Structure formats: structure tokens, C-alpha cells
Amino acid sequence: MEIGVTIPLQKFLRWKQPPYGEDPRLLFCWDIHRADVNGRKLLVVVNAANRFAGIRCMTGADWKKLDAIVPQVIDQAMETAGVSEPLRCAYLDAAGVPVFTKTHGRKPVAGLNRVVDDIWFCVERDLDRDAMFQAELSTIANTRFCHCATRADYVRPVDAFAEDLRQLLNLANLDEGIC
């Protein structure tokens, strides 16, 4: 699994610039960014292929554990979208160990920026101050029609992610695991 780190997040973490990614399958590539909204630090995790997103509140210590937290956010976003546990495990196993890279191009980063913009419009009403994973914000980001890097038409990220999983895992009964 490749995790593309935005330049502002690299500067915040005081990381050197990571290498380019090598995985041609964008379904296993995610881009991450830090958003400061209403005094809360949010980690925004967005799939490079289909703009499927997960959003999590972060503490100062959490930023040092990104390699463990990002897969958790992806798993929680898939669970919130109704993906079955066996399918979530199959995806995460197929994705492999997280490796930090540069972001995955202009279109995926544009999708990431749109998710961050959407958070600004929804956060007053939808930020769950008691939870780390922001299920409501993630659901809003995943159910709005938008453009994504691998589609020509408008699509809901949750539908595009389901379609990509269907093609990747070649499962005929995938619809049972996704709402």
C-alpha cells in the first residue's frame, strides 16, 4: 500500500521528501493530508483511484504512528461504507505493508483537496467531538457525486470504490458486502 504524503504534511512532520511510488494500481494508493478545522487536527486519507475517503481526528502523538493509523482509517471507512469484514481484510492483505511516497499526481491530489474543502462546509454540524474516526464526515465525503482520477463521469466515491474492489478481487457476490 502506497501512502502519498502532501508537501504541507511533510513539512509539518519534518520529513524529508519521500520517493515516488512504484505501484501502478491506484486502488492500492492513498494520499494523506492534515487539515486544521475548528481547532481540531484532522487526518484526511483519500484513495488515489476513486476518491474514497476516511477522516480521523489526531492527537500530537498520533502523527508519529501514521504507518499504523492510516490502515485503521481505511478499514474504518470501508466498515462505515458497509464493506464486510472478510472483504476489508482481503483488500488490506492485497494492499500490503504501508510505504510512504510522494502523492500520486494532480488528479488524485485535486480529489484530496476537494474532500478537505467539503469538510469545511460540513464540520460545524457533523464533527463528532467524542470520536477519533469521523464516520459522518467520511460518509458525506464518500456519497457526494464528484469527479475522480479514473472516471470520466461524476460518480459517488463509495460506488467507484465498490466497482474497483469488484474488478480487483473478481468476486461475483461483492454486492452482499457493500451497502
CATH number at residue 92: 3.30.420
Cell of 22: 512504484
Question: What is the pLDDT at residue 125?
Answer: 61
Number of folded domains that form the chain: 1
The pTM (predicted TM-score) of the whole model is 0.90
Side-chain-facing half-sphere of 164: CA atoms under 13 Å: 24
Across the chain, which has 179 residues, the per-10-residue mean pLDDT values are 96 95 90 89 95 96 96 97 92 94 92 88 70 92 88 92 85 46
Question: What is the pLDDT at residue 150?
Answer: 83
Q: For residue 118, which phi and psi values (nearest 5 degrees)? A: -60, -35
The stretches of the chain forming alpha helices (DSSP H) are: 7-13, 66-80, 85-95, 106-126, 135-143, 157-169
Question: What is the pLDDT at residue 35?
Answer: 93
Query: Looking at the chain, how many residues does it have?
Result: 179
- Its domain, for residue 17, covers 2-177
Question: What is the pLDDT at residue 22?
Answer: 87
The identity of residue 60, as a single letter, is G
Question: What is the pLDDT at residue 120?
Answer: 80
Question: What is the pLDDT at residue 169?
Answer: 73
Question: What is the pLDDT at residue 123?
Answer: 62
